[in-house]
Amino acid sequence: MRIVEAARELSDLSYAVKQGGQKVALVPTMGALHEGHRSLIHMAQQHGEFVIVSIFVNRLQFNNEEDFETYPVTLEDDIAICRSSGVSALYMPSSKSMYPESFATSVEVSGLTARFEGASRPGHFSGVTTVVTKLLTASAPDIAIFGQKDFQQFAVLRKLVDDLDIPTEMMMAPTIREEDGLALSSRNVRLSAESRQLAVLISQGLFHSLSLFQSGIRDRQELIEAARQTCIGEIEIDYIAIVDPQTLESVSEAHVGDVLLFAGTIDGIRLIDNIIFCA
């Protein structure tokens, strides 16, 4: 596995690989890798011969300084996971190289970023779209893999790539969960034992709503309330919504393919999750 720190070196590497006839797949991460990230890497390997994983804790997407300061950093373990997973190249740029003092550019996607995470975390998506644009520019991947857990993020980045004619195919990998249903997240390590027990209520609520949908219920409010009642009084709920997967607009009746989004806070730790309604 090759470790790369400079954008120009990554660009040259990607160009050489593609000249040799191989497809390049990118898995962008902020480190603190877990089995969910392994699943992204595995999916990337199914679609590209040369897999690049990036690790960069992007300060621009944190609207809360404490959240940034406490974000878990496990570089040695991350490198070991990438090696054992057969990653071709690991891109680990420094903050100074990504955002030098002269840096004065941001990338914005309007509309899709105005609600949910965008409304609750001002500036978050501008940070995400800016850093992902830089990662895509440096690595020029044929394919980029993102996780379903950050569904709104994926919708925003898909729009970014479409609007800017970036020749990268965007793929979404299913959420990986613990045995009890909790969605894997790098932030889970910050949960106390008691908070960890409460956190599983999120997925229980989502899957209860899914079971009602599969029994024939389509009313938005009834499905939302099914998820809310599981968590109410235990988790500080930010939003629960059922949306169209493309526009992220709320729907009056749920259909196959629509998405139930959830965000809430436990002991100051923000957790998000979602399910896609299926038959």
- CA–CA separation, 81 vs 85, rounded Å? 6
Which conformational region is residue 2 in: left (phi greater than 0), alpha (psi within -120 to 50 degrees), or beta?
Answer: beta
Check 34, 37, 42, 255 and give the catalytic one.
37
User: What are the start-end ranges of the E strands in 154-215?
Assistant: 169-173
User: What are the start-end ranges of the E strands in the chain?
Assistant: 2-4, 24-29, 50-55, 89-91, 143-147, 169-173, 236-243, 259-266, 269-276
- CA–CA separation, 269 vs 195, rounded Å? 9
> Is 34 known to be catalytic?
no
- CA–CA separation, 227 vs 240, rounded Å? 8
Contacts of 150 (CB under 8 A, 6+ apart): 272
Which residues are known catalytic residues? Answer: 37
